[in-house]
Amino acid sequence: MSVIQTLLEARNALAANKVAILSVLALPLLIITASEVAAAYYGTPGSAVYAAQLVSYFLYCSVAIFLHRLIILGTDAENPSPFIPKGRVFKFLIYSIALGLILIPAILLIHIPVVGFLLSYIAITYIVCRLSFIFPAIAVDVDWTFKDSWQATRRHHLQLFVLLGIIPFVLNLPYYIPATSLAAFACISILSTIAMVIGVAILSVCFEKLTTERSHEFI
């Protein structure tokens, strides 16, 4: 799996589907950005903030499913509205929780003196890169488990670490810049949302490559 080739294919997929992406996702992405800005600047701990975060995450899942289906299956696929709950969204939520539980040992590495943060980050990123293909599989109704994702990625450790770990981190660097104003935070949130779309596209292209490779193994 070539890192450069995968990035080019992800870029081409987004460019080829830009009209569908903008027309369907403009409003949900705007809502996500607005909710992040509102929570950061006007929110106080309470049920309203938690509800806004839940809605935001629901929309994130819906947007990811739409993008996966559009890129993997093409424009002829049935692409659910990001505003209508579907079974795939709830499976996304369930597997997100399961992945979070799997990551607990890696998260606990942060308590190791001096090198804990680095070890924890590397371990979390590595595990996520190996297991995250469950999500495009859910989006396109492919019957995969975490075990399938782990086995399918066994030959591409380094490439996936770069594609799904390092590149998304670099794209999200603006998110870690302290915002000095509401406008600055809004811009950072927009850039972060764009980074999310690019990350999903990369994940979709990688999933296509892995499923093709896996199908050849069983021939």
Q: What is the mean pLDDT of residues 24-42?
A: 69
Q: Which residue has the higher pLDDT, 77 or 197?
A: 197
Looking at residue 148, its pLDDT comes to 93
Closest-CA residue to 201 (of 72, 20, 60): 72
Residue 212 has pLDDT above 60, yes or no: yes
Q: pTM value?
A: 0.84
Does 61 have pLDDT greater than 80? yes
**pLDDT higher than threshold 90 for residue 129:** yes
Conformation bin of residue 74: beta by default, left when phi > 0, alpha when psi is -120 to 50? left
Q: Is the pLDDT of residue 74 over 90?
A: no
Q: What is the mean pLDDT of residues 189-194?
A: 80
Calculate ∠ Cα 95-151-125, nearest 5°.
Answer: 60
Q: Are 83 and 92 in contact (CB under 8 A)?
A: no
How much is the pLDDT for 206? 95
- Which residues constitute the domain of residue 87? 3-217
d(CA 212, CA 209): 5
Residue 44 is predicted with a pLDDT of 56
Query: What is the predicted pLDDT for the residue at 39?
Result: 63
- Rounded to an integer, the average pLDDT of 137-160 is 92
What confidence score (pLDDT) does residue 78 get? 64
Query: Is it the case that residue 200 has pLDDT exceeding 90?
Result: yes
In this predicted structure, what is the pLDDT of residue 37?
Answer: 66
Give how many domains the chain has, as a whole number: 1
- With cut-offs at 50, 70 and 90, classify the pLDDT of residue 163: very high
Q: Can you tell me the distance from the alpha carbon of 204 to that of 46, in angstroms, rounded to the nearest whole number?
A: 36
How many residues are listed for the chain in this entry?
Answer: 219
For residues 152 and 191, the model is more confident at 152
